[in-house]
Every structure is written in structure tokens, then in C-alpha cells.
Homo-oligomer: A and B are copies of this chain.
Amino acid sequence: MSDADDWRRVAGLRWHAQGYASVHGDLLARMRAIDARFVQWAQAEAATDYQFAGLMPLSDLRRAQYLQGFPHLAVFPATLAPDPSRLRGVAATSTTTDTLDLPFATTCDSILPPAACFGVYAALRDTSLHAPHIATTCCTCYRNEAGVAWLRRQRSFAMRELVCVGTREEVQAFLARNRERVDAFAKALGLDAHWEMATDPFFEAERDPRQLAQRLDPLKHELRLHGGLALCSVNDHRNFFGEGFGIDRDGMPAHSGCVAFGLERWLYACIDAFGDDCRAWPALDAIA
């Protein structure tokens, strides 16, 4: 499946060369069945279900220091400068051109979500917890990826997350429990996938102290298909978001951790394992 056009063999898939995919019919039902498994685990954790807006305020994101680490990956909701003659110009050009040079207004108060879990910390900001808070959400995420590949690396993709905010021990136990669930599910599917330590793709990584911290004390582990594609990441944030968002747990900055799934990647893993015709796949909800 190395050819860029191989997606055409997959019924129900439409890949856009701009870097994202649409899914329909039986294949979409399969993608939902995969996600339903992750939701089951969230329900077993009595997780609160969140649906975040399709935009996130920069005032929330600032607490996560995201733009300090990843300005090169950020995608913003830009509108056109409200000048009637320029709007008329865009309207006219748009009838013949598919890549536009646009007179954007440069002022911006929001970002397209780069990850699903930030919304959870934002929802809890400046609060004190007296029990762990476990959350789940599925969010369309946006990243300015330099290279793209259908279902595997997209500029827009669906991310399911399970999140725990609590004490260090609560978070570590949550991450260990769910890593085991992921492991058992991947094995039951027969995927050739193994856990590896990982770091985030920081902008100018050598300058960012967080990259160094991730290397000294591994806080991120990824389940990688055939040693490459990360299907799931298990992340221990320690008290980074607790401090940033002002969330306390019994008087101390809360710890947090998340387990994140790229839904298109899991769909790819199933295509890779079971073939291009999803009607011939085993019933995913019957897999233990």
C-alpha cells in the first residue's frame, strides 16, 4: 500500500490529496465500531463525556503552552478582511482557481483544536478536585503536517481520548489500566504492533526544555504498527496541565494523563490486517 492512489481500492473511502479523508457506508460503520470499543473503556471508567466546540479559545490554549512548542503545526480559523472590493475579488477568483491567495484578516482569538484533551483541562480550569476526574471526548483535530498519507497522516483527523486528572498515583494507575486494554485489543485483532517510547515533535526541539524532559524521563509511549505508525499514545503529563490550568487535587497542582487514539489510523490498521473490503472483516465487537 505504498502508492498514493491505493486508497481507491478501499470501498467507502475518499482521500483528498490536500491531506484528509471522508468515509461512508460500511467503512464508516467499522470506524464507529472501533471507536465504540474505546468508548466502552471510558464507560468502564465512569468517564464524563465531553463534546468540545470546533474551535478553541487562544486564552484556553495559552495555558497549555501549545503555541510555544508547536507554532509550525498550528492551524487557525482565518476569515477574509472585511473590505468589499477584496471580498468581490475572492468571489471572482474562486470561480476558476482551486488554490487561492487570500487576503486574510490577521487578528485571531481561536485555534482549530490540535488535540482533544486540552478542552478537558480548560473545562476544569481554576477548580479544586477532591476525586479523580475521568473524561472522554472525540474531536476533529488539525495539524499543519508537512507530508500526508491517506488515513495515516492527515491535516485533519479524528482523535478519541480518555483523560484522567487526579493525583500522581491515580493517573499512573489509569494509564496502566488502559494501556493493558489497548494491548489486549490490538493482540485480539492480530495487529503487528508494539509499544515504544516517544517524544513530541517540538518546534526547534533542541531549544525546548520539554523535549529534554521527555527524553530524560519517558512520559510518552506509543503503540506502533509494524514499528512505525502510532495507533495510540499513552501520555503522563505529570502536573504540567494542572499547573497551567490552575487545577488542584487536594491542595496540590493536579496530575493528568491521557490515552489518545487516531481513529483513521485504527481504520488503516484494520484495512492492513483484514483487507480492502470491510464487509469481509471479522465482527469487531465480537473480538474480545
Contact = CB atoms under 8 A, between A and B. Distances in A.
Interface of A: 14, 16, 18-25, 28-29, 31, 48-55, 57-59, 61-62, 65-69, 71-72, 74-80, 82, 84, 87-88, 90-92, 94-95, 97-104, 106-110, 112, 119, 123, 140-142, 144, 154-157, 203-204
A94 B100 CA distance: 28
B50 A76 contact: no
Given A77-B112, A78-B75, A80-B71, A22 B58 contact: no
Nearest to A203: B87
Copies, count? 2
B49 A25 contact: yes
A248 to B, nearest CB: 19
Contact of A22 (B68, B101, B110, B119): B119
Contacts of A59: 98
A173 B280 CA distance: 36
Contacts of A100: 58, 107-109
B51 A71 contact: no
Contacts of A14: 123
A138 to B, nearest CB: 11
A53 B102 CA distance: 22
Given A50-B24, A123-B14, A65 B104 contact: no
Contacts of A104: 76, 78, 104, 106
Contact of A94 (B49, B57, B62, B112): B62
A95 B68 contact: yes
A71 B94 contact: yes
Given A18-B110, A87-B72, A98 B58 contact: yes
25 contacts: A18-B55, A18-B109, A18-B110, A19-B55, A20-B53, A20-B54, A22-B123, A28-B51, A54-B112, A54-B141, A54-B156, A55-B142, A58-B94, A58-B99, A61-B94, A65-B95, A68-B91, A72-B82, A75-B78, A79-B144, A87-B203, A99-B109, A100-B107, A101-B107, A104-B104
